[in-house]
Structure 1
Amino acid sequence: MAQAETHHVLPLPEFDRPVKLLIVVAPYYKDIADELVAGAKAEIEKVGGSWELVEVPGALEVPTAIRIAYRQSNFDGFVALGCVIRGETTHYDTVCNDSSRAIQLLGLEGACIGNGILTVENREQAVVRAEAAGQNKGGGAAAAALHLIALTRRFGNEKKDIGFKPLREGIQIAGEAKGPTTA
């Protein structure tokens, strides 16, 4: 196996207010997922941040879970984790491309996401990339999310509220206002 090329790693950002991230993991390959999660947790904790963890069945469900939390919760950012190992069919290409594309589209909507879904040819490559004491791709995904959160805070476009916002005080059903009206 070829040695990984060295590359520049940005120092972690500093935050004046704590950050809260959601780690979404597909534990299809549980041992690999556990290493990715360990790396992500450690990176978030280095900046004094907190995290919650949710598991989904597979890599295709990771972006959907992030989208649900992005719309309905108050996380500053998200870490997408999982592993897709090439098999004998084209399903590998579908899962890799569609999960990556969905995560990218969520990012373009403003979600601060670090993508740590490994797409590899074999288990050995996955293990090398996942190990928290090795290439630590889970930690790298968390660091990416943290950098995007820092940019969002710098440019002043944080989410101000969570969940759905009512149009006005009253409840509107099929065009008729119900409840108190305000003028």
Structure 2
Amino acid sequence: MASNEEHYTLPRPSFDKPVKILIVVAPYYKDIANELVKGATDEIEAAGGFHEVIEVPGALEVPTAIGIAERMSNFDGYVALGCVIRGETTHYETVCNDSSRALALLGLQGLCIGNGILTVENYEQARVRAEAAGQNKGGGAAAAALHLLALARRWGGARKGVGFVPARDEFQVAGGSQGKDSA
């Protein structure tokens, strides 16, 4: 059983200036979500960071909320939290696969995201994984986001619009004048 195996944990990264992390949680199973958030907030605070927590209806909305926050706010990194428990239909596979894929795509665009959306067979598995004093998967997701953020800062900080030149509000007009209204 994986819970009994020992594994290596990277040392907590340190930052020269505080980090601001958005925790996006789907609280469908509220007590599981609360434990995940506790683990994540403890880890962020231990690294000297600040956090904000928002709730969304379900695991499928977590990546969308992160995408919106990245476009419209100033967070350094993100922690995705929630719990999906297998039921009697194929909805489980859809939610697990699509939320994970969307988070991975956001990560490939340069966002620093820790994925703590639990995908389990039953409630007991979720409880064991979520406990902040136990497996602490919320804390692990926060640690992942912090480690990615440390790498981003090491390699030059955040750059918006990966692969694209950002649009400019002003443009150069032949003859030397600038601005939207000069033509």
| TM-score over 0.5 for the pair | yes
What's the counterpart of residue 42 of structure 2? 42
Q: How do residues 16-165 of structure 1 correspond to structure 2 at under 5 angstroms? A: 16-159=16-159
Q: Do 2:40 and 2:142's aligned partners in 1 also have CA atoms closer than 8 Å?
A: yes
Q: Distance in 2 between matches of 1:134 and 1:107?
A: 27
Alignment RMSD (CA, Å): 1.9
**What is the rounded CA distance, in whole Å, between the counterparts of 2:181 and 2:89 in structure 1?**
59
For residues 88 and 33 of structure 1, what CA distance do their matches in structure 2 show?
Answer: 22
Q: Which amino acid aligns with 1:36?
A: L
In structure 2, stretches of 5+ residues that fail to align are 172-178
Query: Is the contact between residue 169 and residue 180 of structure 2 (CA under 8 Å) also seen in structure 1?
Result: no
Distance 1:76 1:122, change over 3 A: same
Distance change >3 Å, CA 94–CA 160, structure 1 → 2: closer
2: CA distance between counterparts of 1:3 and 1:166?
49
Residues 169 and 180 in structure 1, CA contact (< 8 A), matched pair in contact too:
no
- Please say if 1:167 is aligned against 2:164: no
Determine if contact 1:60/1:99 at 8 Å carries over to the other structure: yes
Alpha carbons 1:41, 1:139 under 8 Å: kept: yes
Q: How high is the TM-score relative to the length of structure 2?
A: 0.88
* Cα distance between partner residues in 1 of 2:95 and 2:18: 34
Cα pair distance change 1:147/1:124, threshold 3 Å: same
Kept after mapping to 2: 8 A contact 1:63/1:103: yes
Q: In structure 1, how many angstroms separate the alpha carbons of the residues matched to 2:9 and 2:167?
A: 43
Aligned pairs, number: 172
Which secondary structure does the structure 1 equivalent of 2:4 belong to?
Answer: coil
SS at match of 1:79: strand
Query: For residues 100-123 of structure 1, what are the alpha-carbon distances to aligned partners after superposition, in whole Å with 9 as ceiling and x for unaligned?
Result: 000000000000000000000000
Give the gaps of 5 or more residues in structure 1.
171-177
Q: What's the offset of the Cα at 1:71?
A: 1.3
Deviation sequence 1:31-50 (CA, Å, 0-9, x none): 00000000000000001100
Identical aligned pairs, as a percentage?
73
Structure 1 position 125, deviation (Å): 0.2
Distance change in 2, residues 1:4/1:181 (3 Å): farther
- Superposed displacement of residue 166, structure 1: 5.6
